[in-house]
Amino acid sequence: GEDVEQSLFLSVREGDSSVINCTYTDSSSTYLYWYKQEPGAGLQLLTYIFSNMDMKQDQRLTVLLNKKDKHLSLRIADTQTGDSAIYFCAELGNSGYAHNFGKGTSLLVTP
Amino acid sequence: EPEVTQTPSHQVTQMGQEVILRCVPISNHLYFYWYRQILGQKVEFLVSFYNNEISEKSEIFDDQFSVERPDGSNFTLKIRSTKLEDSAMYFCASRGARGGTGELFFGEGSRLTVL
């Protein structure tokens, strides 16, 4: 099957920028997503980007999409300790029903 | 704020036993999903359900698995005869209308441990 790949761990200092990268395989995906999972909680949509966009900015979050390389990134500016969580990249599958998720990137923000 | 709720939060069972995981999706949502995450692995799609029938299922969702929406409120996942490899966190999710951004709303998960 198709795999969404992400790096597993990232550690940054508070106040620095974090960049989480993802590669996806389904070039026909219409939407790509970043979900956040805090300890003991379910996944929650953080942001998304439509496939005809290259970039989307939402406050401290910037999503970059390179369709040619099937590469998606999430940049968090001025990272805070409360941003420590697992971040999942996902693509909307062909059927329009299911999301294909990566393994998640565990972000640790240190003071 | 509407949310997806799941019970139990944790279930321990013996291999071969039947397990039912329960979910209450957001009330006006139309699409319902089960995903699972084995420790350290990716979040895997199991099944989607719409209009009282399965709309899509993965290879994982074999004859041991079934889903039901018995009363218009609950959405259940049944595993008939659990195996050790069924140990995972099971997430229920729901979604409103087809189209739009496709955002999924997830529950907090049910951790299944098969001994």
What string of DSSP letters covers B55-105? Answer: EEE-TT--TTEEEE--SSS-EEEEESS--GGG-EEEEEEEE-SSSTT---E
| A1 pLDDT higher than 50 | no
| A4-63: pLDDT as tens digits | 899 889 999 999 999 999 999 877 778 899 999 998 888 999 999 998 899 999 999 999
Which of helix, strand or coil describes residue A83? helix
- Overall size of chain B counted in residues: 115
Question: Is A39 touching B (CB cutoff 8 A)?
Answer: no
- List the single best residue of B36, B43, B60, B98 to mutate versus A (max A Cβ within 10 A): B43
| Number of cross-chain residue pairs from A and B with Cβ atoms under 8 Å apart | 66
Going by the DSSP 8-state scheme, the letter that residue A15 receives in this structure is: T
pLDDT at B26: 92
Cβ pair A6, A104 in contact under 8 A: yes
CB-nearest to B43 from A1, A88, A92 is: A88
Residues of chain B with pLDDT below 70 are 98-99
Q: How many CA atoms lie within 13 A of A20 on its CB side?
A: 33
pLDDT at B73: 87
Task: Take residue A20 and report the two structure tokens written for it.
Answer: 């989480």
User: Using the beta-carbon criterion (under 8 Å), do B41 and A103 form an inter-chain contact?
Assistant: yes
| Closest to A24 in 3D by CA, of A1, A54, A40, A43 | A1
| Closest to B30 in 3D by CA, of B58, B59, B53 | B53
Mean pLDDT of A54-82: 95
Please name the residue of chain A whose CA is at the shortest distance from the CA of residue B110. A42
Amino acid making up residue B7: T
pLDDT at B41: 84
User: Using the beta-carbon criterion (under 8 Å), do A45 and B104 form an inter-chain contact?
Assistant: yes
Task: Take residue A110 and report the two structure tokens written for it.
Answer: 């240190």
pLDDT at A2: 59
| Closest to B30 in 3D by CA, of B108, B109, B104 | B104
